[in-house]
Structure 1
Amino acid sequence: MNFFSSKKQSSVAIVGALMITLGVERSAVGATFNPAPLFESAVSYSTNIPRTDGGVDSTDIYYPVLSSTQNQQNSLPIALLLQGALVDKSDYSTFANTVARYGFVVVVPNHLRTAISPTGAVTGLIAEQQQVNDVLTYIQTEKSTPSSPIANSLDPSTLVLLGHSFGGSVGIAAIQGQCFPTLCTGNFTRPKELKAGVFYGTNFRIGQSSGGLPIIDNDGIPIALVQGNRDGVANPANAQETYAGIQDPPKAFITIPGANHYGITNEDNLIRETVRPTINQDVAIETIARWSALFLRGTALNDKNSLDYVFNTDDTLDQKVSVESVVKPIPEYTSVVSLLVLGVIGASSLNRKKQKLVKNKVLKF
């Protein structure tokens, strides 16, 4: 009886100690991590990106300003921002600048085309899937162009997507690696460099025919949907349905209370959005940019602190949002738990040996 009590106490003590240690380490990350941008400022320049169809896209590119003590050579991934339908690239300048300060080169093209939808043809600024490969090809060229202001900072092996409204639907389609009607023209092949995507005010019913629950075959590529609960253009219920259809984690659904469909743009759109926001526009932009950037850093760049902020501490540190998420087990955490189990087994084995030794001594007497 005493032996079993002793073994149980020792095992519990070890488990308790290790779990306390784990708890302290995980809490310390949440308590000490600063979710603010990594860089104090970002700048931009304008260029033209060649298109597969022979045209060009007028484009703004944002990148962080490095201080004398910062060396980010060959380390900045590419973030392509796919615009909402008929929304000019300049309307995303504040959002793009903020995301760039988290360590991304943010590419914002104006993509003019005619899209054929079930309701007819529409001509204007309308994103499409081919932009993913066109932008990647251009960035790879920039990498080898000494005169480019970002040549020495680029990591063209990592591409992530940002998107607004229709552009978000294009991003979701691109992640699935198929050419979807209205969202794509010609053929599309998903590049191996595409690692994650975050989309605001979007769902996979935009630009698509109605039907049952949309199934998002994301092939393990992380997706986050960020949604204002006052969105009068893209129904939040459709976004929630799209989130449920994402097959593979990591995934997250981040709600911004008080934000409407244009919470991501520099100004609200009084013509195309009938519902007014109850959150300050600057606050909405900063919140959307922060959660988008941290999701991308955590999932695509393996930034453990960012991953912990989004999936573990989540909205407890930001009362402006609510978060629903699913994440795969972190390998390091799984390994620690395995060691914990081995430690318990080892402790039990040691106690059995001690008990056997004591028993043998008693028999000798």
Structure 2
Amino acid sequence: MIAYLPRLKLKLRLNYKRYLFSTKNLSSLCTMAAFIVVFDGKTSAATIDYSPPFKEASFYSTTISANNDLADIYYPRPSDVNSGSYSFPIVLLLQGALVDKSFYSDYASLVARYGFVVVVPNHFRPLPINPNSPPSLLSETSQIGAVLSQMAIENTKTTSPIASVVDTQRLGLLGHSFGGAVGLSVIGNKCLPGSYLCQEPFTRPKELLAGAFFGANLRNPISNQFVPIANDGIAVALIQGDIDGVALPERDQSTFDKIQTPPKTLITVTGANHFGITNVNNPAGANPDLNTATLEPAVGIETIARWSALFLRANMLKDRAGFDYIYSQGDQLDPNVSVTSVVVPETSSIAGLAMFGIVGLGYRWTKRKATLAGSK
């Protein structure tokens, strides 16, 4: 792991009275207090390890039966992967427009090492502006169901490298550019007319728990307005290069503001352009970014993968290290990012306030680390 100098840049704001006297928020404060007592009290005695739990990842290629997409599947590779008791959630990476799946291999491998089966398909369809054009690489919402079905097959097929190690009940999304907009549409459970992101009918799958998207925003193609994203508590992270010349940073901020319910996180990567996530800058065939990245490519990919994976671990697996990194320590440890988070702890009973008697402690912790839901 790279040794990072401490740096604190979280944007914090809190309407104390509004938060304190809301019954729902008192319940959340109770849970935050419990988190501090049960977990945070231990962090002072031992350093939390934020590195990938698995040293190696492998991949293989297959065809997704439902739509004939060729896909690369990345997965952790401990020595006992097929004999141990592993259960890795599914993560679907939705490619950017005209970007081949092979350009995401470094990023996908790193995310897989955090304990996920990462599926990266090549999805072809006609360009929206010309339905009669030859099929091009372009993500869409129909891939979600197709991948879920294929992972159920892979999990039961004895010849599959990931047989019996896939958690088919947990799904996370990753996405780049247009693929990220598709992912946001899925999370919002909304098919925008004229957006070419989806096919009707579409229903958000119950397995979907979280999504992390790089260089993506969601706007109505007719009005060009940013649309509300009714995520219903599904965790969303937006990761953005601060010199992205294709998906402008201010559009990412506007989309972040439209995500209706926490947890949500906005991670800005200093020196990264629109292709900070891909193996090479401006992959062949893609709409190029004329801004030159100043962040070293390998550092950029590792940074984006680390924040993506730990965000998914925090919100899909309720992982202590992931939660601590995303909502508390990561922004101080990583000199290449700036982070804004809005987080709600899991619900608890108001009776817990009497048990722990530390409403003030919960308030101070949250004020120091993140923005509380309901604050302004």
Question: TM-score, normalised on structure 1?
Answer: 0.81
Q: Which residue of 1 aligns with 2:101?
A: 89
Q: Is the 8 A contact 2:353 2:359 kept in 1?
A: no
Alignment partners' CA distance in 1, 2:351 and 2:107: 38
Aligned partner (choices 338, 342, 345) of residue 329 of structure 1: 345
Q: Aligned pair 1:232/2:245, yes or no?
A: yes
1:200 deviates by: 0.2
Alignment pair present for 1:160 and 2:177: no
Match of 1:306 among 319, 322, 343: 322
- Secondary structure at the counterpart of residue 116 of structure 1: coil
Following the alignment from structure 2 to structure 1, what is the Cα–Cα distance between the partners of residues 297 and 236? 24
- SS of match in other structure, 2:357: helix
Structure 2 residue aligned with 1:146, among 153, 158, 166? 158
- Aligned match of 1:201: 215
RMSD: 2.9
The reply on whether 1:192 has 2:195 as its aligned counterpart is no
1:203-282 equivalence runs, <5 A: 203-205=217-219, 208-269=221-282, 272-282=288-298
The answer to whether the Cα contact below 8 Å between 2:57 and 2:76 also exists between their aligned partners in 1 is yes
1:314 is displaced (CA, Å) by 3.0
Which structure has the greater CA radius of gyration?
Answer: 1
> CA 1:119 to 1:130, structure 2 compared with 1: closer, same or farther past 3 Å?
closer
Specify whether residues 335 and 329 from structure 1 end up closer, same or farther in structure 2 by C-alpha distance, changes over 3 A only. Answer: farther
Specify the code of the residue in structure 1 equivalent to 2:295: I
Unaligned runs of 5+ in 2: 1-32, 361-376
Between 39-48 and 264-273, the greater mean CA deviation after superposition: 264-273
Change (3 A) 1:242 1:199: same
The answer for the alignment partner of 2:332 in structure 1 is 316
How many Å apart are 1:267 and its aligned residue? Answer: 0.8
Greater relative contact order (Cα 8 A, min sep 6): structure 1 or 2? 2
Q: Which amino acid aligns with 1:250?
A: P
Following TM superposition, by how much is the alpha carbon of 1:166 offset from its aligned partner in structure 2, in angstroms? 0.2
Kindly indicate whether the alpha-carbon contact (under 8 Å) linking 2:92 and 2:118 is maintained by their aligned counterparts in 1. Answer: yes
Percent of aligned pairs sharing the same letter: 46
Measured against aligned partners, the alpha-carbon deviations of 1:39-96 in whole angstroms (never above 9, x if no partner) come to: 0010100111123xxx410110000111349975351000000000000000000000
Provide structure 1 residue ranges, at least 5 long, that are not aligned to the other structure. 1-17, 345-365
- In structure 1, the partner of 2:138 is 126
How many residue pairs get aligned? The number is 322
Distance change (3 Å), C-alpha of 1:123 and 1:307: same
Report if the CA contact (8 A) 2:229-2:259 is conserved: yes
CA displacement at 1:336 relative to structure 2: 6.3
2:6 equivalent in structure 1:
none
Task: Return the alpha-carbon distance in structure 1 between the equivalents of residues 275 and 359 of structure 2.
Answer: 53
Measure, in 2, the Cα distance between the counterparts of 1:134 and 1:77. 16
For residues 349 and 303 of structure 2, the distance between their equivalents in structure 1, rounded to whole angstroms, comes to: 29
Instruction: Please identify which structure carries the higher helix content.
Output: 1
Deviations 1:242-290 (A, max 9, x none): 0000001000000000000000000111871100000000000000000
- Residues 336, 130 of structure 1: alpha-carbon distance in 2 compared, 3 angstrom cutoff: same
Distance 1:35 1:23, change over 3 A: same
State whether structure 2 residue 50 is matched by structure 1 residue 38.
no
AA matched with 1:127: S
CA distance in 1, matches of 2:330, 2:70: 37
